[in-house]
Amino acid sequence: MKLARAPRKIYLPLLGLALVLAVGLAYREVWHKPAKPAVVEAKYVSFTGNYLFTIPAKYTANGTAIPDVALVYPKASSLQDGQSLNDLYANGAVAVQPIRELKNDDPQAFNAYVTGVLAAELRKTFKAATDLRPAKQKGVDAVEVSALGGAGKVFRINYAIDLAQPVLVVAQDRSDAFKAVGSSMEDLMKSNLKTDIDQAAQAAKETAQGLKDQKIKELRKNASSGFKKKTTEVQLADTLQKSSQYFQRPISIVGGLYNGEFFIAQLVFEVKAAGDQPVPGVVSLHKEGKTWKLDDLQLPK
């Protein structure tokens, strides 16, 4: 599991755009100040890992900076080129990723992975003892695994959760953010929010396809009232024209920020040709009545 084992350089031109976008979106500070409160706490939803968790207060979450990893970090954090995961951990970040070696809710394989792989890698990386603490997470097995130095100093802490697709939560120490992410983690497929999230995700997919197909009139016609007030067809066409080179690429929706009223879908314009870098984008949806509608866009240029 590379995340637990070694520092990893982050492609900050990609990370910078995606995380700056997400800073305000989690709590709707950028585009709207709705009169009614959110239906649920702000959640990060991963479609690549089929999990969701509550975003801690004063934090945001992003799933486009590192493939298959959701970064949860303080909104006040500054990012610098060349930062590694260790740098982000030191600044209070939490990372979440599926444990791809494990599938299909196999408790025996999960326990073997925790002791034989995860704990062993922590001992090797930090040349330290490990502490394992079994737990229960919403009815499923979980284990907290820490690398410990002298006087009980924690070098790294991991929380492995045996969901249908097991996940790993990683931080530098047992911070409030680490505990909030871990304790709120749940299986998307079993969540009581799944139906609404599925509808939001489908609307995001249809919007992304509309962007690729340059369906200007249809996109605006089906958009939220707020979007129509601030964006004319001419302005939308200009926005899409500036990003047209990226619409030739496959688009993935890796996850997003959800609170029952807004869904901030995080897109990745995937690599198509040699020399390309994956590039992030954002489609913001607002729920009007029972329908999720395009509310704003942040696209690469």
pLDDT tens digits, 149-166: 888 899 999 999 999 999
**pLDDT confidence tier of residue 34, bands split at 50, 70 and 90:** very low
The gap from C-alpha 161 to its chain's centroid, in whole angstroms, comes to 17
Q: Distance between CA 30 and CA 218 in Å, rounded?
A: 25
Q: Distance between CA 159 and CA 157 in Å, rounded?
A: 7
Does 41-190 match 194-298 in CATH topology?
Answer: no
Per-residue pLDDT, 83:
76
Which tokens is 127 given? Answer: 């040349």
Residue that wins the pLDDT comparison between 276 and 225: 225
DSSP at 38: P
CB 164 within 8 Å of CB 109 = no
Give tens-digit pLDDT for 163-213: 999 999 999 999 999 999 999 999 999 999 999 999 999 999 999 999 999
Per-residue pLDDT, 39:
53
**Res 37 pLDDT > 50:** no
Of 259, 262, 245, 249, nearest to 204 by C-alpha is 262
**pLDDT confidence tier of residue 29, bands split at 50, 70 and 90:** very low
Question: Which one is the CATH code of 194-298: 3.40.50.720, 1.20.810.10, 3.40.50.300, 3.10.450.100?
Answer: 3.10.450.100
**pLDDT confidence tier of residue 28, bands split at 50, 70 and 90:** very low
Q: Distance between CA 276 and CA 107 in Å, rounded?
A: 40
Give tens-digit pLDDT for 134-150: 999 888 999 999 999 88
Q: How many Cα atoms occupy the beta-carbon half-sphere of 92 within 13 Å?
A: 17
CB 168 within 8 Å of CB 96 = yes
**pLDDT confidence tier of residue 105, bands split at 50, 70 and 90:** confident
Of 52, 66, 60, 49, nearest to 10 by C-alpha is 66
Q: Distance between CA 117 and CA 112 in Å, rounded?
A: 8
Domain positions in the chain: 41-190, 194-298
Across the chain, mean pLDDT equals 87
Per-residue pLDDT, 80:
61
Query: What are the C-alpha distances in Å from 153 to residues 28, 89, 117, 169, 174?
Result: 38, 15, 22, 19, 11
Per-residue pLDDT, 133:
95
Mean of pLDDT values over 37-42: 66
Per-residue pLDDT, 3:
53
**Res 4 pLDDT > 90:** no
Mean of pLDDT values over 6-14: 37
**What are the E-state strand segments in the chain?**
43-46, 51-54, 59-66, 69-74, 94-98, 129-137, 140-148, 154-161, 167-171, 186-187, 251-258, 262-269, 279-288, 291-298
Give tens-digit pLDDT for 236-269: 999 999 999 999 999 999 999 999 999 999 999 9
Which tokens is 220 given? Answer: 């605006």
Q: What are φ and ψ of residue 264, in 5° steps?
A: -105, 95
Query: What are the C-alpha distances in Å from 80 to residues 10, 18, 207?
Result: 10, 14, 32
**pLDDT confidence tier of residue 103, bands split at 50, 70 and 90:** confident
Q: Which CATH architecture has domain 41-190?
A: 3-Layer(aba) Sandwich (3.40)
